Structure 1
Protein backbone atom coordinates (compact mmCIF):
# COMPACT_ATOMS: atom_id res chain seq x y z
CA UNK A 1 0.00 0.00 0.00
CA UNK A 2 1.24 3.47 -0.86
CA UNK A 3 0.54 6.51 1.31
CA UNK A 4 1.19 9.81 -0.45
CA UNK A 5 3.90 12.19 0.67
CA UNK A 6 6.46 9.51 1.51
CA UNK A 7 10.04 8.88 0.46
CA UNK A 8 9.36 5.71 -1.54
CA UNK A 9 13.05 4.96 -2.04
CA UNK A 10 13.59 4.92 1.71
CA UNK A 11 10.59 2.68 2.29
CA UNK A 12 11.74 0.31 -0.45
CA UNK A 13 15.17 0.06 1.17
CA UNK A 14 13.64 -1.10 4.45
CA UNK A 15 10.61 -2.94 3.07
CA UNK A 16 9.71 -6.25 4.74
CA UNK A 17 11.65 -9.14 3.24
CA UNK A 18 9.79 -11.88 1.35
CA UNK A 19 7.72 -13.92 3.77
CA UNK A 20 7.36 -11.06 6.23
CA UNK A 21 4.01 -9.43 6.98
CA UNK A 22 2.98 -6.23 5.17
CA UNK A 23 2.95 -3.06 7.24
CA UNK A 24 -0.78 -2.62 6.60
CA UNK A 25 -3.51 -4.22 4.51
CA UNK A 26 -4.66 -2.40 1.39
CA UNK A 27 -6.81 0.53 2.51
CA UNK A 28 -9.45 2.54 0.68
CA UNK A 29 -9.20 6.34 0.76
CA UNK A 30 -12.13 6.40 3.20
CA UNK A 31 -10.36 3.96 5.51
CA UNK A 32 -7.23 6.10 5.43
CA UNK A 33 -9.18 9.24 6.38
CA UNK A 34 -11.00 7.42 9.19
CA UNK A 35 -7.69 6.16 10.56
CA UNK A 36 -6.23 9.66 10.33
CA UNK A 37 -9.11 11.01 12.41
CA UNK A 38 -8.71 8.29 15.03
CA UNK A 39 -4.92 8.78 15.24
CA UNK A 40 -5.14 12.54 15.65
CA UNK A 41 -7.95 12.28 18.18
CA UNK A 42 -5.62 10.23 20.37
CA UNK A 43 -2.88 12.86 19.92
CA UNK A 44 -5.05 15.68 21.31
CA UNK A 45 -7.26 16.73 18.40
CA UNK A 46 -10.27 15.94 20.53
CA UNK A 47 -12.45 19.02 21.03
CA UNK A 48 -15.71 17.06 21.04
CA UNK A 49 -17.33 17.27 17.57
CA UNK A 50 -15.25 20.27 16.46
CA UNK A 51 -12.64 20.04 13.74
CA UNK A 52 -12.50 18.77 10.20
CA UNK A 53 -10.20 17.08 7.73
CA UNK A 54 -10.58 17.38 3.96
CA UNK A 55 -8.65 15.37 1.40
CA UNK A 56 -8.80 16.24 -2.30
CA UNK A 57 -9.31 13.28 -4.64
CA UNK A 58 -8.10 12.85 -8.21
CA UNK A 59 -11.61 13.47 -9.59
CA UNK A 60 -11.85 16.89 -7.91
CA UNK A 61 -14.09 15.77 -5.07
CA UNK A 62 -13.11 15.85 -1.40
CA UNK A 63 -13.35 13.33 1.42
CA UNK A 64 -14.23 14.76 4.84
CA UNK A 65 -15.29 13.70 8.30
CA UNK A 66 -18.94 14.33 9.24
CA UNK A 67 -20.10 17.04 11.62
CA UNK A 68 -22.09 14.87 14.02
CA UNK A 69 -19.38 12.41 15.07
CA UNK A 70 -16.22 12.76 17.13
CA UNK A 71 -12.92 11.91 15.49
CA UNK A 72 -12.58 9.07 17.98
CA UNK A 73 -15.73 7.19 16.95
CA UNK A 74 -16.19 7.50 13.21
CA UNK A 75 -15.55 4.65 10.77
CA UNK A 76 -14.72 4.47 7.07
CA UNK A 77 -18.39 4.27 6.07
CA UNK A 78 -19.04 7.58 7.85
CA UNK A 79 -16.63 9.53 5.64
CA UNK A 80 -18.40 11.99 3.33
CA UNK A 81 -17.66 12.97 -0.24
CA UNK A 82 -18.01 16.67 -1.07
CA UNK A 83 -18.09 18.66 -4.28
CA UNK A 84 -15.87 21.69 -4.91
CA UNK A 85 -18.34 23.94 -3.10
CA UNK A 86 -18.28 21.79 0.03
CA UNK A 87 -21.71 20.22 -0.52
CA UNK A 88 -22.29 16.58 0.47
CA UNK A 89 -22.66 14.39 -2.61
CA UNK A 90 -22.06 11.02 -0.92
CA UNK A 91 -22.68 9.93 2.66
CA UNK A 92 -25.35 9.82 5.35
CA UNK A 93 -24.23 12.68 7.61
CA UNK A 94 -23.93 16.47 7.49
CA UNK A 95 -20.84 18.59 6.95
CA UNK A 96 -19.85 21.41 9.30
CA UNK A 97 -20.97 24.94 8.33
CA UNK A 98 -17.30 25.92 8.72
CA UNK A 99 -16.32 23.83 5.68
CA UNK A 100 -15.96 27.09 3.73
CA UNK A 101 -12.59 27.56 5.46
CA UNK A 102 -11.35 24.33 3.87
CA UNK A 103 -12.76 25.12 0.45
CA UNK A 104 -11.09 28.54 0.52
CA UNK A 105 -7.73 27.00 1.43
CA UNK A 106 -8.04 24.29 -1.23
CA UNK A 107 -8.96 26.91 -3.84
CA UNK A 108 -5.92 29.00 -2.95
CA UNK A 109 -3.43 26.18 -2.41
CA UNK A 110 -3.30 23.82 -5.38
CA UNK A 111 0.02 22.53 -4.01
CA UNK A 112 -1.70 20.72 -1.12
CA UNK A 113 -4.30 17.97 -0.94
CA UNK A 114 -5.06 17.86 2.80
CA UNK A 115 -6.42 20.60 5.08
CA UNK A 116 -6.87 20.09 8.84
CA UNK A 117 -8.52 22.47 11.29
CA UNK A 118 -9.16 21.70 14.95
CA UNK A 119 -8.83 23.06 18.49
CA UNK A 120 -6.28 20.59 19.88
CA UNK A 121 -5.55 20.46 23.58
CA UNK A 122 -2.07 22.01 23.61
CA UNK A 123 -2.08 23.95 20.38
CA UNK A 124 -5.08 25.85 21.68
CA UNK A 125 -3.10 26.93 24.76
CA UNK A 126 -0.43 28.62 22.64
CA UNK A 127 -3.00 30.09 20.28
CA UNK A 128 -4.70 31.61 23.33
CA UNK A 129 -1.54 33.37 24.50
CA UNK A 130 -0.54 34.35 20.97
CA UNK A 131 2.91 32.81 21.09
CA UNK A 132 4.73 30.32 18.89
CA UNK A 133 6.18 27.60 21.17
CA UNK A 134 9.98 27.19 21.08
CA UNK A 135 11.54 23.91 19.91
CA UNK A 136 12.97 22.17 22.97
CA UNK A 137 13.54 18.64 21.66
CA UNK A 138 14.04 16.56 18.52
CA UNK A 139 10.43 15.48 18.17
CA UNK A 140 9.32 19.12 18.22
CA UNK A 141 11.65 19.73 15.26
CA UNK A 142 10.19 17.26 12.78
CA UNK A 143 8.76 20.11 10.71
CA UNK A 144 11.19 22.78 9.60
CA UNK A 145 9.30 26.06 9.98
CA UNK A 146 7.47 27.93 12.71
CA UNK A 147 3.69 28.18 12.44
CA UNK A 148 2.42 31.60 11.43
CA UNK A 149 0.16 33.48 13.85
CA UNK A 150 -3.23 34.87 12.95
CA UNK A 151 -3.88 37.27 15.80
CA UNK A 152 -7.35 38.58 15.08
CA UNK A 153 -10.21 36.41 16.33
CA UNK A 154 -13.57 37.92 15.41
CA UNK A 155 -15.81 34.88 15.44
CA UNK A 156 -16.18 31.31 14.25
CA UNK A 157 -15.06 30.44 10.74
CA UNK A 158 -18.45 29.40 9.34
CA UNK A 159 -18.79 33.11 8.55
CA UNK A 160 -17.45 33.31 5.01
CA UNK A 161 -15.48 36.51 5.50
CA UNK A 162 -13.83 35.26 8.67
CA UNK A 163 -13.01 31.90 7.12
CA UNK A 164 -11.36 33.59 4.14
CA UNK A 165 -9.36 35.82 6.48
CA UNK A 166 -7.97 32.77 8.28
CA UNK A 167 -7.16 31.11 4.94
CA UNK A 168 -5.42 34.28 3.77
CA UNK A 169 -3.40 34.41 6.99
CA UNK A 170 -2.07 30.91 6.29
CA UNK A 171 -0.86 32.10 2.89
CA UNK A 172 1.88 29.82 1.48
CA UNK A 173 2.80 28.40 4.88
CA UNK A 174 2.45 24.86 6.26
CA UNK A 175 0.59 25.61 9.48
CA UNK A 176 -0.88 28.40 11.56
CA UNK A 177 -1.92 29.17 15.12
CA UNK A 178 -5.29 30.94 15.05
CA UNK A 179 -5.43 33.28 18.05
CA UNK A 180 -7.97 32.29 20.72
CA UNK A 181 -9.14 29.52 18.44
CA UNK A 182 -6.97 26.59 17.37
CA UNK A 183 -4.75 25.41 14.53
CA UNK A 184 -4.86 25.17 10.75
CA UNK A 185 -2.46 23.10 8.67
CA UNK A 186 -2.05 21.79 5.15
CA UNK A 187 -0.04 19.00 3.55
CA UNK A 188 0.57 17.12 0.30
CA UNK A 189 -0.88 13.88 1.69
CA UNK A 190 -2.14 12.14 4.80
CA UNK A 191 1.30 10.99 5.90
CA UNK A 192 2.72 14.51 5.85
CA UNK A 193 -0.45 15.94 7.41
CA UNK A 194 -0.21 13.44 10.26
CA UNK A 195 3.42 14.31 10.92
CA UNK A 196 2.72 18.04 10.90
CA UNK A 197 -0.31 17.69 13.16
CA UNK A 198 1.36 15.52 15.80
CA UNK A 199 4.59 17.55 15.67
CA UNK A 200 2.70 20.77 16.36
CA UNK A 201 0.81 19.27 19.28
CA UNK A 202 3.96 17.64 20.72
CA UNK A 203 5.88 20.90 20.36
CA UNK A 204 3.13 22.84 22.14
CA UNK A 205 2.92 20.32 24.99
CA UNK A 206 6.67 20.03 25.46
CA UNK A 207 7.22 23.78 25.46
CA UNK A 208 4.47 24.30 28.06
CA UNK A 209 6.07 21.73 30.35
CA UNK A 210 9.58 23.10 29.93
CA UNK A 211 8.49 26.66 30.59
CA UNK A 212 6.42 25.56 33.58
CA UNK A 213 9.70 24.38 35.12
CA UNK A 214 11.31 27.74 34.51
CA UNK A 215 12.39 27.44 30.91
CA UNK A 216 15.12 25.67 29.00
CA UNK A 217 17.45 26.03 26.05
CA UNK A 218 15.78 25.62 22.65
CA UNK A 219 17.51 23.58 19.94
CA UNK A 220 19.90 25.61 17.81
CA UNK A 221 17.97 27.03 14.87
CA UNK A 222 20.21 25.35 12.29
CA UNK A 223 19.77 21.92 13.92
CA UNK A 224 16.01 22.32 14.13
CA UNK A 225 15.79 23.40 10.50
CA UNK A 226 17.96 20.55 9.23
CA UNK A 227 15.96 17.99 11.19
CA UNK A 228 12.65 19.33 9.94
CA UNK A 229 13.71 19.56 6.32
CA UNK A 230 14.75 15.92 6.34
CA UNK A 231 11.64 14.51 8.00
CA UNK A 232 8.87 16.83 6.82
CA UNK A 233 9.84 16.67 3.16
CA UNK A 234 10.34 12.92 2.95
CA UNK A 235 8.02 11.55 5.57
CA UNK A 236 8.98 9.78 8.76
CA UNK A 237 9.44 6.14 7.70
CA UNK A 238 6.80 3.72 8.98
CA UNK A 239 5.29 6.15 11.54
CA UNK A 240 1.90 6.53 9.83
CA UNK A 241 1.60 2.76 9.42
CA UNK A 242 2.56 2.07 13.03
CA UNK A 243 -0.06 4.46 14.38
CA UNK A 244 -2.65 3.10 11.95
CA UNK A 245 -1.98 -0.46 13.12
CA UNK A 246 -2.46 0.64 16.71
CA UNK A 247 -5.88 2.07 15.88
CA UNK A 248 -6.89 -1.08 14.00
CA UNK A 249 -5.82 -3.23 16.97
CA UNK A 250 -7.80 -1.06 19.36
CA UNK A 251 -10.96 -1.06 17.25
CA UNK A 252 -11.07 -3.00 13.96
CA UNK A 253 -14.49 -1.48 13.22
CA UNK A 254 -12.72 1.73 12.16
CA UNK A 255 -12.28 0.06 8.75
CA UNK A 256 -15.95 -0.80 8.32
Structure 2
Protein backbone atom coordinates (compact mmCIF):
# COMPACT_ATOMS: atom_id res chain seq x y z
CA UNK A 1 0.00 0.00 0.00
CA UNK A 2 1.49 3.31 -1.09
CA UNK A 3 1.70 6.22 1.32
CA UNK A 4 0.58 9.65 0.16
CA UNK A 5 3.16 12.45 0.47
CA UNK A 6 2.67 14.74 3.48
CA UNK A 7 0.80 18.03 3.03
CA UNK A 8 4.10 19.94 3.05
CA UNK A 9 4.99 18.23 -0.25
CA UNK A 10 1.57 18.44 -1.93
CA UNK A 11 1.75 19.71 -5.48
CA UNK A 12 5.39 18.74 -5.89
CA UNK A 13 6.29 16.63 -8.89
CA UNK A 14 9.39 16.48 -11.12
CA UNK A 15 8.87 18.75 -14.10
CA UNK A 16 9.32 17.64 -17.68
CA UNK A 17 9.54 19.23 -21.08
CA UNK A 18 9.63 23.01 -21.11
CA UNK A 19 9.49 23.16 -17.30
CA UNK A 20 12.15 20.53 -16.55
CA UNK A 21 14.48 21.58 -13.75
CA UNK A 22 17.28 19.41 -15.18
CA UNK A 23 17.96 17.80 -18.54
CA UNK A 24 17.05 14.16 -18.99
CA UNK A 25 20.01 12.16 -17.70
CA UNK A 26 21.30 8.67 -18.38
CA UNK A 27 22.30 6.52 -15.38
CA UNK A 28 25.96 7.12 -16.25
CA UNK A 29 25.39 10.88 -16.25
CA UNK A 30 23.53 10.68 -12.94
CA UNK A 31 26.40 8.82 -11.31
CA UNK A 32 29.05 11.18 -12.68
CA UNK A 33 27.07 14.19 -11.42
CA UNK A 34 26.61 12.55 -8.02
CA UNK A 35 30.39 12.17 -7.74
CA UNK A 36 30.90 15.88 -8.45
CA UNK A 37 28.08 16.96 -6.14
CA UNK A 38 29.43 14.94 -3.21
CA UNK A 39 33.00 16.07 -3.88
CA UNK A 40 31.78 19.61 -3.27
CA UNK A 41 30.27 18.47 0.04
CA UNK A 42 33.58 17.15 1.39
CA UNK A 43 33.75 13.68 -0.16
CA UNK A 44 37.12 14.64 -1.55
CA UNK A 45 39.87 12.33 -0.27
CA UNK A 46 41.91 12.41 -3.48
CA UNK A 47 41.07 9.29 -5.55
CA UNK A 48 39.60 7.39 -2.58
CA UNK A 49 35.98 6.32 -2.53
CA UNK A 50 33.54 4.51 -4.75
CA UNK A 51 29.87 4.56 -5.62
CA UNK A 52 27.99 1.59 -7.06
CA UNK A 53 24.64 1.95 -8.82
CA UNK A 54 22.58 -1.18 -9.46
CA UNK A 55 20.85 -1.34 -12.83
CA UNK A 56 17.65 -3.12 -13.87
CA UNK A 57 19.62 -5.78 -15.77
CA UNK A 58 21.53 -6.78 -12.63
CA UNK A 59 24.78 -5.06 -13.59
CA UNK A 60 26.35 -2.21 -11.63
CA UNK A 61 27.74 1.16 -12.64
CA UNK A 62 30.77 2.29 -10.64
CA UNK A 63 33.24 5.16 -10.76
CA UNK A 64 36.81 4.46 -11.95
CA UNK A 65 39.58 3.70 -9.48
CA UNK A 66 42.05 6.09 -11.11
CA UNK A 67 40.02 9.31 -11.15
CA UNK A 68 39.16 11.85 -8.46
CA UNK A 69 35.45 12.48 -8.08
CA UNK A 70 35.65 16.02 -9.48
CA UNK A 71 37.13 14.92 -12.82
CA UNK A 72 34.76 12.08 -13.70
CA UNK A 73 32.55 12.31 -16.79
CA UNK A 74 29.72 10.03 -17.88
CA UNK A 75 31.96 8.25 -20.38
CA UNK A 76 34.37 7.33 -17.58
CA UNK A 77 31.76 5.32 -15.68
CA UNK A 78 32.43 1.56 -15.62
CA UNK A 79 29.87 -1.23 -15.82
CA UNK A 80 30.57 -4.46 -13.93
CA UNK A 81 28.72 -7.75 -13.66
CA UNK A 82 27.67 -9.52 -10.45
CA UNK A 83 31.13 -11.11 -10.22
CA UNK A 84 32.87 -7.74 -10.44
CA UNK A 85 34.15 -8.20 -14.00
CA UNK A 86 34.38 -5.05 -16.11
CA UNK A 87 32.00 -5.43 -19.05
CA UNK A 88 32.08 -1.83 -20.26
CA UNK A 89 34.49 1.02 -19.68
CA UNK A 90 38.15 1.90 -20.16
CA UNK A 91 39.32 2.22 -16.57
CA UNK A 92 40.01 -0.11 -13.66
CA UNK A 93 37.51 -0.91 -10.94
CA UNK A 94 38.60 -0.77 -7.30
CA UNK A 95 38.98 -4.15 -5.53
CA UNK A 96 36.83 -2.65 -2.76
CA UNK A 97 33.80 -3.10 -5.02
CA UNK A 98 33.56 -6.48 -3.30
CA UNK A 99 32.08 -4.81 -0.21
CA UNK A 100 29.47 -3.09 -2.36
CA UNK A 101 28.52 -6.33 -4.06
CA UNK A 102 28.24 -8.08 -0.69
CA UNK A 103 25.80 -5.41 0.52
CA UNK A 104 23.84 -5.29 -2.74
CA UNK A 105 23.42 -9.07 -2.50
CA UNK A 106 21.61 -8.89 0.85
CA UNK A 107 19.92 -5.48 0.49
CA UNK A 108 17.25 -5.18 -2.20
CA UNK A 109 16.62 -1.61 -1.01
CA UNK A 110 20.25 -0.53 -1.52
CA UNK A 111 20.49 0.30 -5.22
CA UNK A 112 23.11 2.97 -4.51
CA UNK A 113 26.05 2.44 -2.15
CA UNK A 114 28.50 5.26 -1.39
CA UNK A 115 31.82 4.90 0.39
CA UNK A 116 34.36 7.64 0.97
CA UNK A 117 36.32 9.46 3.69
CA UNK A 118 34.57 12.85 4.00
CA UNK A 119 36.30 15.35 6.24
CA UNK A 120 34.08 15.69 9.28
CA UNK A 121 32.42 12.29 9.31
CA UNK A 122 35.87 10.71 9.20
CA UNK A 123 36.85 12.67 12.31
CA UNK A 124 33.86 11.22 14.18
CA UNK A 125 34.79 7.77 12.88
CA UNK A 126 38.25 8.25 14.41
CA UNK A 127 36.63 9.24 17.67
CA UNK A 128 34.32 6.22 17.31
CA UNK A 129 31.34 8.28 18.33
CA UNK A 130 28.06 9.10 16.58
CA UNK A 131 27.45 12.88 16.61
CA UNK A 132 24.21 14.42 17.83
CA UNK A 133 21.90 16.47 15.62
CA UNK A 134 21.98 20.22 16.27
CA UNK A 135 20.12 21.81 13.35
CA UNK A 136 17.36 21.33 10.80
CA UNK A 137 19.61 20.45 7.87
CA UNK A 138 21.31 17.84 10.02
CA UNK A 139 17.84 16.41 10.67
CA UNK A 140 17.01 15.87 7.01
CA UNK A 141 17.38 12.13 7.60
CA UNK A 142 16.17 10.19 10.61
CA UNK A 143 17.36 6.92 12.11
CA UNK A 144 20.47 5.80 13.93
CA UNK A 145 23.90 6.11 12.39
CA UNK A 146 25.55 2.70 12.63
CA UNK A 147 29.06 2.63 14.12
CA UNK A 148 31.01 -0.26 12.60
CA UNK A 149 34.13 -0.55 14.74
CA UNK A 150 35.90 -3.60 13.41
CA UNK A 151 38.31 -1.85 11.07
CA UNK A 152 40.78 -4.25 9.52
CA UNK A 153 42.17 -2.25 6.64
CA UNK A 154 40.73 -1.87 3.15
CA UNK A 155 37.62 -3.99 2.68
CA UNK A 156 38.42 -6.22 -0.29
CA UNK A 157 38.38 -9.79 1.04
CA UNK A 158 35.29 -11.94 0.54
CA UNK A 159 34.85 -13.17 4.12
CA UNK A 160 35.58 -9.74 5.60
CA UNK A 161 33.11 -8.03 3.26
CA UNK A 162 30.35 -10.57 3.94
CA UNK A 163 30.84 -10.03 7.67
CA UNK A 164 30.71 -6.24 7.26
CA UNK A 165 27.52 -6.50 5.16
CA UNK A 166 25.90 -8.64 7.85
CA UNK A 167 26.97 -6.25 10.62
CA UNK A 168 25.61 -3.25 8.75
CA UNK A 169 22.21 -4.94 8.49
CA UNK A 170 19.55 -2.57 7.17
CA UNK A 171 21.40 0.63 8.16
CA UNK A 172 20.87 3.69 5.97
CA UNK A 173 24.38 4.89 6.77
CA UNK A 174 27.37 4.04 8.91
CA UNK A 175 30.58 5.41 10.32
CA UNK A 176 33.42 2.96 9.68
CA UNK A 177 35.74 3.36 12.65
CA UNK A 178 39.08 4.99 11.80
CA UNK A 179 38.12 4.84 8.16
CA UNK A 180 35.19 6.76 6.69
CA UNK A 181 31.51 6.32 5.86
CA UNK A 182 29.11 4.09 4.00
CA UNK A 183 25.72 5.34 2.77
CA UNK A 184 22.96 3.40 1.03
CA UNK A 185 19.93 4.56 -0.94
CA UNK A 186 17.15 3.22 -3.13
CA UNK A 187 17.94 5.80 -5.83
CA UNK A 188 20.25 8.71 -6.63
CA UNK A 189 18.05 11.31 -4.94
CA UNK A 190 17.80 9.44 -1.64
CA UNK A 191 21.48 8.47 -1.58
CA UNK A 192 22.50 12.06 -2.28
CA UNK A 193 20.48 13.64 0.53
CA UNK A 194 21.57 10.94 2.96
CA UNK A 195 25.25 11.45 2.14
CA UNK A 196 24.97 15.25 2.32
CA UNK A 197 23.04 15.10 5.61
CA UNK A 198 25.58 12.75 7.20
CA UNK A 199 28.53 15.03 6.47
CA UNK A 200 26.57 18.17 7.41
CA UNK A 201 25.49 16.65 10.73
CA UNK A 202 29.08 15.65 11.50
CA UNK A 203 30.42 19.08 10.55
CA UNK A 204 27.91 20.99 12.65
CA UNK A 205 28.49 18.74 15.66
CA UNK A 206 32.25 19.25 15.36
CA UNK A 207 31.80 23.02 15.29
CA UNK A 208 29.39 22.99 18.23
CA UNK A 209 31.94 21.02 20.25
CA UNK A 210 34.64 23.50 19.24
CA UNK A 211 32.72 26.33 20.95
CA UNK A 212 32.11 24.32 24.08
CA UNK A 213 28.92 22.42 23.32
CA UNK A 214 25.30 23.03 22.40
CA UNK A 215 21.75 21.77 22.78
CA UNK A 216 20.77 18.92 20.42
CA UNK A 217 17.43 18.94 18.61
CA UNK A 218 14.70 16.87 20.31
CA UNK A 219 14.74 13.35 18.93
CA UNK A 220 11.05 13.48 18.02
CA UNK A 221 11.67 16.49 15.78
CA UNK A 222 14.53 14.72 14.03
CA UNK A 223 12.41 11.61 13.62
CA UNK A 224 9.43 13.48 12.14
CA UNK A 225 11.34 15.75 9.77
CA UNK A 226 13.92 13.17 8.78
CA UNK A 227 11.33 10.48 8.20
CA UNK A 228 9.36 12.71 5.85
CA UNK A 229 12.37 13.83 3.81
CA UNK A 230 14.00 10.41 3.67
CA UNK A 231 10.80 8.78 2.47
CA UNK A 232 9.67 11.37 -0.09
CA UNK A 233 12.86 13.24 -0.91
CA UNK A 234 13.73 16.89 -0.37
CA UNK A 235 11.95 18.71 -3.22
CA UNK A 236 14.26 20.41 -5.73
CA UNK A 237 17.52 19.75 -3.83
CA UNK A 238 18.94 17.13 -6.20
CA UNK A 239 17.91 19.20 -9.21
CA UNK A 240 19.61 22.30 -7.81
CA UNK A 241 22.83 20.35 -7.21
CA UNK A 242 22.67 18.93 -10.74
CA UNK A 243 22.44 22.46 -12.13
CA UNK A 244 25.31 23.59 -9.92
CA UNK A 245 27.53 20.80 -11.24
CA UNK A 246 26.53 21.45 -14.85
CA UNK A 247 27.31 25.16 -14.57
CA UNK A 248 30.79 24.42 -13.26
CA UNK A 249 31.56 21.20 -15.14
CA UNK A 250 29.41 21.02 -18.29
CA UNK A 251 31.77 18.35 -19.65
CA UNK A 252 30.48 15.92 -17.01
CA UNK A 253 27.72 14.84 -19.43
CA UNK A 254 30.18 13.71 -22.09
Counterpart of 2:211 in structure 1 is: 213
- Spell out structure 1 runs of 4+ moving beyond 6 A: 9-12, 16-19
Q: CA RMSD in A?
A: 1.9
After superposition, the Cα gap between the structure-2 partners of 1:165 and 1:15, relative to the gap in structure 1 and judged at 3 Å, is: closer
Task: Give how far 1:153 is off.
Answer: 1.1
Kindly indicate whether the alpha-carbon contact (under 8 Å) linking 2:15 and 2:21 is maintained by their aligned counterparts in 1: no
Paired residue for 1:46? 44
Superposed, 1:95-174 pairs within 5 Å as 95-174=93-172
Q: Cα 1:16–1:230, aligned 2, differ >3 Å: closer, same or farther? A: closer
TM-score (norm 1): 0.93
Which runs of 5 or more residues in structure 2 are unaligned? none
Q: What are the within-5 Å matches in structure 2 for residues 200-239 of structure 1?
A: 200-239=198-237
Query: Shift in Å at residue 59 of structure 1?
Result: 0.6
SS at match of 2:61: strand
Aligned residue in 1 for 2:21: 23
Distance 1:12 1:255, change over 3 A: farther
The answer for unaligned runs of 5 or more in structure 1 is: 1-6
CA distance in 2, matches of 1:198, 1:244: 14
The alignment of Structure 1 onto Structure 2 pairs a total of residues equal to: 249
**TM-score, normalization by structure 2:** 0.93
Secondary structure of residue in 2 paired with 1:149:
strand
1:156-185 per-position Cα deviation (integer Å, ceiling 9, x unaligned) = 102223322322221111111110011111
